[in-house]
Amino acid sequence: MAVTAMWTHGNAVIPETPELLDRFTRFGFGTQVNLKRGTNQWFHVPMPTPVLLGGVQPKLRRVFILGNSDVSSCIRRVHLFDGQNRVLDRAVLICGNKLAIRPENTITTGSGIHIFTGLGITMFIESPYASASYFFASFGADWE
């Protein structure tokens, strides 16, 4: 069971290359993005990171990516960063309605990862044949 859970709102997402987007709109309830056809895009989210909980450094156990897309607009890869150091690289397939926590939008870290300088979630979406549309609602992390 998690010692603590921390969440970030979907309107905190940042595109790596904004010029590859047809749309990037932040709302009070999240962020809507549309990638130009034939492009790929990385999106980044800074996460609150507990350095100490009760005098102990917690381990990151799980990350959650909540959002919604059509079936052809999928997050294909997730990287987790500790500051500038990539600590996890995972192939995923997160698409469709994932506005609740499900196994498909939960990235587990095995026995856990110590994060020292700030957790960043990085997600890759590709749009090879049609304009990809993705709505980012929120991002969570469980720490033990």
Angle 65-71-75 from CA coordinates, rounded to 5°: 35
Name the burial class of residue 3, with classes exposed (0-12), middle (13-18) and buried (19+) by CB atoms within 10 angstroms of its CB: middle
pLDDT of 16-53, one tens digit each? 999 999 999 999 999 999 999 989 999 999 999 998 88
In-domain check, residue 142: no
pLDDT at residue 2 greater than cutoff 70? no
> Are 24 and 33 within 8 A, CB to CB?
yes
CA distance 47 to 62: 13
In-domain check, residue 31: yes
- Nearest Cα to Cα of residue 141 among 93, 76, 87, 73: 87
7-22 average pLDDT score: 97
CA distance 91 to 101: 18
Judge if pTM exceeds 0.85: yes
Q: Which domain holds residue 59?
A: 13-137
pLDDT at residue 79 greater than cutoff 80? yes
pLDDT value of residue 3: 86
Q: Place 113 in a pLDDT band, splitting at 50, 70 and 90.
A: very high
| Number of independent structural domains in the chain | 1
| Domain CATH number, residue 34 | 2.60.120.260
In-domain check, residue 143: no
> Are 131 and 20 within 8 A, CB to CB?
no
pLDDT at residue 72 greater than cutoff 90? no
Tokens of 50: 């507990």
pLDDT at residue 5 greater than cutoff 90? yes
In-domain check, residue 103: yes
CA distance 120 to 135: 19
Which helix (H) or strand (E) element contains residue 80?
strand 75-82
